[in-house]
């Protein structure tokens, strides 16, 4: 920086620089502005999608109490057009609930499998797997249930998994293993929520 | 070098550079300015800061929920709870944002319409809603965003909890287990029957005493001398003379007078959005012109056009206005008017208003005679407070300066030294019922060094200074004084052991024989003493819950056999149970039962889901900042 320049020289230099880089600078700015608008558009689009899905789910929730057939169309719309929102998975789980509580296990399992295969949300997948295992057990598909439960789950689901292992062992008539699994489940299930496990555990007695 | 920078920092290039630099500085400066408050961080959740302020707010809410005084040590636990709760809230908010939960307009509208406060005759009323928000000075858009956020969070919780279920077969299994009945027979060995058979020797007592010496100590205790300064006494002792009361009254006449009240009506054009100020001004001017021209009356306009819908129903009357309760601009306008005078449009805190004063109730000063009783009480209170502060200061100071004795301090304030009964660190009467007094009595300064305490304020507003006059340290109780207590305790313990021992032996024999006939042989009772209870449910009252619970945890009996079990009861008795048979319960599900089962599994699954959310998050806590 030892050579002094006059303002004119500096202007000349800037002009030269602009000639060389002007286009890319303008392109850059245009890109940035375009990106900003694009981003805004994308956000708006996402918000619209989410609220539409939410409204559809609200319909499903209301209808599912009375008529599952009516809800079915909306659930399909959610699964096909709104799979990227959480509401598609929630609606599917709602459907599974309504079927399974009536003893219609096949469609319940189908709905849960959709969640396992399509949800973006890892924890919904874990929950759907656990619920699917329960449904499979009720269908006496013990081996399939066991395969699901033998997958890896985060520590937080330990109590639910151990309880299901207990149920599977009971179905396989492995009572000693079942007792151990229920005992583990009760240890990690907090407070009164372990009451139902205790019901099953106590019924197995101490063995001999 | 500085010189060369200086030389070059001229001309438009330099200005341009400075200009560019200013922008970010200005922005960050403004940002910091609006942040305000406590900027320390209580936790960092997935890179998002949680301010100490947020945790403090939650802590305050928790405390208000619990109400009243909190036991010591509770504070720390509550802080932990508050921090946890804010962290979990943040995690849920992040999840809602990242996964894209967003309640729809219809749901927001439904939720708002369902709120009682916005309803009129059981239906949502738009006007009530708008005036309520106006009264609360809340922006509808902001309020609706809040409702949407709450709903979205509810959706996340419900996503797990209200989709949970048990398959019908599994629920029926629980129902059957719940309703299961068990055929039971029970024989109870009574502790009382074995008490005569146990003995405790003096050696055993001595040995027990040696091993448990720490439990046989007297409490440390002290007696206190104290000087108590009482507000009530000071108040009674204030000498009142008329002249002083009169002066007091003259100085404080305002407080005894009823202030001026003005009955006010108004027409309001509110300005919610500063951008629409001009529009509002135009409207109010047009209305004012109508009043002046006489085309419409003030009342008619107030009814039809005023934004104050509550006042509108009463021709614009808004009730009485007393100075000091309202916005400054509004009051200035109101108090400038005469009775029945209508103001020109004025800009106030609420927007543009035309104000009319319909009546002025002038301030009513009270005479000294009318207010005398109040004046005397207030005067005494004031004087007593002054005396209390003065004397308290003297008492504390002299007690500190001459800390080997209370008499000089007592004399200085004209009080006498009194004495308490014995008190322990946890219990005392009179002034010693106060925790602060007992803490001070057993403090290093007062107990060990034998000095006067500081001036202590009691719950009733009085104040004391204390010193210890008698002290008894904790001492070992001699064996002789506790011998009988120990004997009783040991006898009970031995009798329990013996009863259980006999019971266990009997249980083995019964298991081998599979019949109560061995009872007679063992000499512990006869078969007639066996309670044959038949089929019992889980909550049957014919059997104590202790025994029942054990009975329902016994293995299913094998063909032709009973399952035998036993339980040592809390009262020392020992029950032996024979499970003869099991009858499967009714598996039919009622709606209630089904709801209970799905709720139970739902809450467990939600707990697991939230725990998983927490476990997978990066959370850094700074409890030390709280």
- Boundary of a domain, candidates B423, B457, B472: B472
Mean pLDDT of the region B228-237: 87
Do B620 and B220 meet the contact criterion of CB atoms below 8 Å apart?
no
Mean pLDDT of the region B356-382: 84
Query: What would the DSSP string read from start to end of B165-221?
Result: ---HHHHHHHHHHHT-EEEEEEEEE-HHHHHTT----HHHHHHHHHHTGGGSBPPPE
Do B189 and B571 meet the contact criterion of CB atoms below 8 Å apart?
no
Q: Which of A94-98, A138-142, B622-626 shows the lowest per-residue confidence on average (mean pLDDT)?
A: B622-626
C-alpha–C-alpha distance, residues B593 and A104, integer Å:
19
- Boundary of a domain, candidates B413, B445, B472: B472
Do B407 and B317 share a structural domain? no
Do B262 and B320 share a structural domain? yes
Do B556 and B421 share a structural domain? no
Q: Do A138 and B613 touch (CB under 8 A)?
A: no
Does B423 have pLDDT greater than 70? yes
Cβ contacts of A199 on chain B, cutoff 8 Å:
174, 177-178
Q: Do B99 and A121 touch (CB under 8 A)?
A: yes
Residue B206 in any domain: the answer is yes
A46, A83, A112, A127: best mutation site toward chain B, by most B Cβ within 10 Å? Answer: A127
A154 touches chain B (CB under 8 A): yes
The confidence band for B417, taking pLDDT boundaries of 50, 70 and 90, is very high
Q: Do B167 and A200 touch (CB under 8 A)?
A: no
Mean pLDDT of the region A73-98: 89
Do A145 and A168 meet the contact criterion of CB atoms below 8 Å apart?
yes
Q: Do B598 and A101 touch (CB under 8 A)?
A: yes
CA–CA min distance B87, chain A (Å): 17
Q: Do A55 and B597 touch (CB under 8 A)?
A: no
How many interchain CB pairs under 8 A, A with B?
Answer: 146
Q: Do A123 and B609 touch (CB under 8 A)?
A: yes
> Looking at chain A, which residue has its C-alpha nearest residue B606?
A127
C-alpha–C-alpha distance, residues B350 and B270, integer Å:
6
A199, A200, A206: best mutation site toward chain B, by most B Cβ within 10 Å? Answer: A199
Do B265 and B316 meet the contact criterion of CB atoms below 8 Å apart?
yes
Structural element, H or E, at residue A159: helix A158-171
Do B426 and B531 share a structural domain? no
Do B447 and B578 share a structural domain? no
Q: Do A196 and B600 touch (CB under 8 A)?
A: yes
pLDDT at B26: 59
Cβ contacts of B173 on chain A, cutoff 8 Å:
200
C-alpha–C-alpha distance, residues B199 and B195, integer Å:
9
pLDDT at A127: 95
The confidence band for A32, taking pLDDT boundaries of 50, 70 and 90, is very high
Do B141 and B110 share a structural domain? yes
Do B191 and B501 meet the contact criterion of CB atoms below 8 Å apart?
no
Cβ contacts of A49 on chain B, cutoff 8 Å:
100
* Number of Cβ atoms within 10 Å of the Cβ of A119: 22
pLDDT in tens, A2-26: 467 778 888 888 899 998 888 898 9
Structure tokens at A29: 């700015």
Cβ contacts of A189 on chain B, cutoff 8 Å:
604
C-alpha–C-alpha distance, residues B607 and B611, integer Å:
6
| Of residues A51, A105, A202, nearest to B104 (C-beta) | A51
Within 71-100 of A, beta carbons closer than 8 Å to B belong to: 84-86, 89-90, 93-94, 96-97, 100
Query: pTM for the full model?
Result: 0.63
The confidence band for B62, taking pLDDT boundaries of 50, 70 and 90, is confident
Rounded to two decimals, the ipTM of the complex is 0.84
Residue B246 in any domain: the answer is no
| Of residues A90, A135, A204, nearest to B159 (C-beta) | A90
Q: Do B168 and A206 touch (CB under 8 A)?
A: no
* Residues of chain A above pLDDT 90, percent: 52
Residue B242 in any domain: the answer is no
Radius of gyration of chain A (CA): 29
Q: Do A97 and B165 touch (CB under 8 A)?
A: yes
Q: Do A51 and B103 touch (CB under 8 A)?
A: yes
A1 touches chain B (CB under 8 A): yes
Residue B251 in any domain: the answer is no
Does B269 have pLDDT greater than 60? yes
Does B341 have pLDDT greater than 70? yes
What is the average pLDDT value for chain B, to the nearest integer? 86
Strand partners, B471: B222
B105, B163, B583, B615: best mutation site toward chain A, by most A Cβ within 10 Å? Answer: B163
CA–CA min distance B472, chain A (Å): 46
Number of structural domains (chain B) is 4
pLDDT at A68: 73
A120 touches chain B (CB under 8 A): yes
Cβ contacts of A134 on chain B, cutoff 8 Å:
166-167, 170
pLDDT at B324: 77
| Of residues B12, B101, B167, nearest to A138 (C-beta) | B167
Q: What range defines the domain where residue B552 resides? A: 180-213+479-583
> Looking at chain B, which residue has its C-alpha nearest residue A56?
B104
pLDDT at A147: 95
> Looking at chain A, which residue has its C-alpha nearest residue B9?
A7
Asked whether the CA dihedral B12, B17, B22, B27 is positive or negative, the reply is positive
Task: Find where tokens 């290039």 sit.
Answer: B13
Phi, psi dihedrals of residue B184, rounded to the nearest 5°: -125, 150
Look up the CATH number of the domain holding residue B344.
3.10.50.40
- Boundary of a domain, candidates B446, B472, B498: B472
Look up the CATH number of the domain holding residue B556.
3.10.50
Q: Do A58 and B613 touch (CB under 8 A)?
A: no
Residue B275 in any domain: the answer is yes
Task: Find where tokens 């007297």 sit.
Answer: B218
pLDDT in tens, B501-519: 999 999 999 999 999 988 8
Do B585 and B176 meet the contact criterion of CB atoms below 8 Å apart?
yes
| Of residues A93, A130, A199, nearest to B163 (C-beta) | A93
Residue B173 in any domain: the answer is no
Q: Phi/psi class of residue B573: alpha, beta or left (left: φ > 0; alpha: ψ in -120 to 50)?
A: beta
Q: Do A58 and B106 touch (CB under 8 A)?
A: yes
Angle, alpha carbons B54-B55-B60 (nearest 5°): 100
pLDDT in tens, B111-157: 888 888 888 777 888 888 888 888 777 888 888 888 888 898 888 98
Do B25 and B128 share a structural domain? yes
The confidence band for A137, taking pLDDT boundaries of 50, 70 and 90, is very high
Residue B247 in any domain: the answer is no
Cβ contacts of B556 on chain A, cutoff 8 Å:
203, 205
Cβ contacts of B13 on chain A, cutoff 8 Å:
7, 10
pLDDT at B135: 79
A187 touches chain B (CB under 8 A): no
Residue B175 in any domain: the answer is no
Look up the CATH number of the domain holding residue B64.
1.10.4030.10
| Of residues B168, B169, B554, nearest to A205 (C-beta) | B554
pLDDT in tens, B440-463: 999 888 988 889 999 998 888 889
C-alpha–C-alpha distance, residues B165 and A102, integer Å:
11
Do B488 and B540 share a structural domain? yes
Reduced to 3 states (helix: H, G, I; strand: E, B; else coil), residue B40 is coil
pLDDT at B504: 93
Task: Measure CA of the first residue to CA of the last residue in chain B; give whole Å.
Answer: 49
Do B504 and B466 share a structural domain? no
Mean pLDDT of the region B220-237: 90
| Of residues A51, A131, A207, nearest to B105 (C-beta) | A51
The confidence band for B71, taking pLDDT boundaries of 50, 70 and 90, is low
| Of residues A130, A137, A199, nearest to B178 (C-beta) | A199
Do B430 and B545 share a structural domain? no
* Residues of chain B above pLDDT 90, percent: 31
Structure tokens at B244: 């002083």
pLDDT at A22: 87
Q: Do A58 and B178 touch (CB under 8 A)?
A: no
More confident call, A1 vs B378: B378
Q: Which of B221, B198, B199, B211 is nearest to B479 (CA)?
A: B211
Within 14-73 of A, beta carbons closer than 8 Å to B belong to: 46-47, 49-52, 54-55, 57-58, 61
Do B31 and B143 share a structural domain? yes
The confidence band for B616, taking pLDDT boundaries of 50, 70 and 90, is very high
CA–CA min distance A4, chain B (Å): 9
Do B506 and B557 share a structural domain? yes
């Amino acid at each position: 920086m030892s050579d002094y320049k006059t303002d004119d020289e500096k202007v000349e230099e800037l002009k030269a620089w602009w000639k060389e880089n002007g286009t890319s600078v303008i392109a850059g700015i245009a890109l940035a502005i375009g990106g900003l608008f694009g981003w805004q558009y994308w956000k708006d689009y996402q918000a619209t999608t989410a609220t539409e899905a939410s409204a559809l789910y609200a319909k499903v929730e209301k209808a599912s109490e009375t008529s599952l057939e009516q809800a079915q169309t909306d659930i399909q719309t959610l699964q096909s057009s709104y799979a990227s929102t959480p509401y598609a998975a929630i609606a599917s789980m709602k459907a599974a609930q309504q079927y399974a509580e009536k003893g219609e296990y096949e469609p319940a399992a189908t709905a849960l499998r959709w969640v396992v295969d399509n949800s973006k949300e890892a924890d919904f997948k874990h929950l759907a797997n656990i619920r699917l295992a329960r449904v499979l057990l009720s269908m006496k598909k013990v081996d399939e249930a066991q395969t699901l439960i033998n997958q890896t789950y985060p520590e937080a689901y330990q109590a639910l998994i151990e309880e299901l292992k207990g149920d599977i062992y009971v179905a396989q008539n492995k009572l000693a293993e079942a007792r151990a699994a229920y005992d583990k489940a009760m240890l990690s299930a907090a407070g009164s929520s372990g009451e139902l496990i205790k019901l099953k555990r106590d019924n197995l007695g101490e063995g001999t | 070098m500085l010189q060369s920078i200086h030389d070059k920092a001229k001309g438009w290039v330099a200005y341009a550079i400075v200009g560019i630099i200013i922008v970010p500085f200005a922005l960050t400066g403004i940002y910091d300015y609006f942040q305000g408050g406590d900027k320390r961080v209580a936790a960092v959740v997935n890179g998002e800061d949680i301010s100490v302020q947020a945790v403090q707010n939650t802590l305050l809410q928790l405390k208000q929920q619990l109400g009243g005084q909190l036991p010591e040590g509770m504070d720390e636990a509550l802080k932990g709870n508050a921090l946890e709760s804010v962290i979990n809230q943040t995690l849920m908010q992040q999840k809602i944002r990242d996964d894209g939960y967003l309640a729809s307009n219809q749901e927001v509208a439904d939720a708002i319409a369902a709120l009682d406060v916005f309803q009129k005759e059981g239906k949502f009323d738009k006007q009530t809603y708008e005036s309520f928000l106006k009264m609360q000075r809340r922006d509808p858009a902001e309020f609706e965003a809040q409702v949407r956020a709450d709903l979205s969070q509810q959706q996340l919780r419900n996503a797990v909890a209200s989709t949970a279920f048990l398959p019908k077969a599994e629920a029926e299994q629980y129902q059957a287990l719940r309703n299961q009945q068990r055929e039971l027979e029970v024989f109870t060995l009574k502790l009382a029957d074995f008490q005569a058979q146990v003995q405790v020797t003096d050696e055993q007592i001595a040995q027990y005493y040696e091993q448990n010496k720490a439990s046989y100590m007297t409490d440390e205790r002290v007696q206190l001398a104290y000087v108590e300064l009482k507000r009530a006494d000071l108040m009674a002792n204030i000498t009142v003379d008329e002249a002083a009361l009169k002066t007091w009254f003259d100085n404080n006449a305002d407080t005894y007078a009823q202030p001026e009240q003005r009955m006010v009506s108004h027409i309001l054009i509110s300005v919610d959005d500063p951008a629409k100020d001009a529009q509002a001004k135009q409207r109010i001017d047009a209305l004012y012109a109508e009043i002046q021209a006489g085309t419409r009356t003030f009342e008619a306009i107030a009814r039809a056009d005023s934004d104050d819908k509550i006042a509108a129903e009463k021709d614009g009357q808004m009730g009485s206005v007393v100075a000091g309760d309202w916005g400054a601009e509004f009051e200035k306008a109101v108090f400038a008017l005469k009775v029945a005078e209508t103001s020109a449009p004025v800009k106030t805190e609420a927007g543009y208003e035309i104000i009319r004063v319909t009546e002025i109730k002038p301030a009513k000063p009270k005479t000294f005679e009318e207010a005398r009783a109040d004046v005397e009480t207030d005067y005494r209170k004031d004087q007593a407070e002054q005396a209390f502060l003065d004397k308290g200061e003297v008492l504390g100071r002299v007690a500190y300066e001459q800390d080997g004795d209370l008499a000089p301090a007592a004399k200085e304030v004209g009080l006498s030294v009194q004495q308490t009964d014995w008190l322990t660190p946890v219990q005392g009467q009179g002034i010693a019922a106060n925790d602060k007094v007992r803490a001070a009595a057993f403090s290093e300064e007062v107990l060990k060094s034998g000095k006067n305490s500081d001036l202590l304020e009691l719950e009733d507003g009085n104040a004391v200074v204390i010193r210890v006059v008698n002290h008894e340290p904790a001492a070992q109780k001699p064996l002789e004084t506790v011998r009988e207590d120990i004997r009783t305790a040991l006898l009970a313990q031995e009798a329990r052991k013996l009863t259980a021992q006999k019971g266990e032996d009997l249980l083995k024999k019964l298991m081998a024989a599979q019949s109560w006939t061995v009872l007679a042989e063992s000499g512990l009772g006869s078969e007639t003493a066996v309670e044959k209870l038949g089929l019992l449910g889980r909550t049957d009252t014919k059997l104590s819950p202790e025994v029942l619970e054990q009975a329902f945890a016994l293995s299913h009996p094998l063909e032709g056999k009973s399952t035998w079990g036993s339980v040592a009861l809390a009262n020392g008795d020992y029950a032996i149970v024979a499970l003869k048979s099991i009858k499967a319960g009714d598996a039919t599900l009622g709606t209630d039962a089904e709801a209970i089962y799905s709720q139970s599994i739902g809450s467990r699954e939600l707990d697991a889901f939230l725990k998983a959310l927490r476990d997978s998050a990066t959370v850094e806590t700074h409890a030390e900042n709280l």
